[in-house]
Amino acid sequence: MSRVKQHTDYERRMPFWGVRLFGAFRKNHVTNAVRLGRIRVRISAKLREDKEEEVCEMYVIVGLGNPTLKYAKTRHNVGFDAVDLLGKMNHIAVNKRKFKGLTGQGKICGEQVVLVKPQTFMNLSGECVREVMDFYKVKPESGLVVLYDDIYIQPGELRIRQKGSAGGHNGMKNIIAHLKTQDFVRIRIGVGEKPEGMDLADYVLQRFPKAERAEVDDALLRSAKAVEEILSNNVEAAMNKYNQRKS
């Protein structure tokens, strides 16, 4: 049975060689349009990927410390205190048990955040932080801020850095080990150097004397405001504003 090729009215009025030429042109035009469409799809997908990389959808703000009332308000728990204050300032309760820690989710300066207080005890803080980071798919270098105590900084002072080593802090050592990177923002809150001859563990597990308490409370407030500065502007702005030494 012979197969009859269907032509449009325009093609029927053409000579035979014109029909073949027009068909070839139409075929090439369709092929090129398909190719162009595929290119556009690829470009759009790449632009979406780039935009997703640039914009962090969730920030993880971690304060380090030890759980239970035994360690409340000690030098080693200023990270907990800072996150509690940050949550209070922004109406976020940090009381939901999840990821081996206490968490609270909300918005600060228009950005989605999860506040975290690991309940693993200080030396295993990385277990909690890693679970949170994996769950929310947050990259440490763009969406993590850790607040913790530093004995090499005077009470009342802050040091904000974009990255760096643990500096001998066991909680930070464990976080870096679990995340396999030290490229994330940290806010170190000064608790003062231990007296000569005193055991370090005994010192950091002490509560502050009245003479230092006011300075520490001021540092906690400024550390919370530093987080807000990071979220509303950037790390450099927070460093310029809050990395000030006492005169």
For the annotated catalytic residues, the residue numbers are: 76
CB within 8 Å of 37: residues ≥ 6 apart: none
Alpha-carbon span 52 to 25, nearest angstrom: 41
CB 207 within 8 A of CB 74: yes
Alpha-carbon span 247 to 91, nearest angstrom: 34
Please name which of 41, 113, 64, 78 lies closest in space to residue 192, comparing C-alpha atoms: 78
Long-range contacts of 234-241 (CB under 8 A, 24+ apart): 235/160, 235/162, 235/185, 238/160, 239/160, 239/161
Alpha-carbon span 84 to 228, nearest angstrom: 14
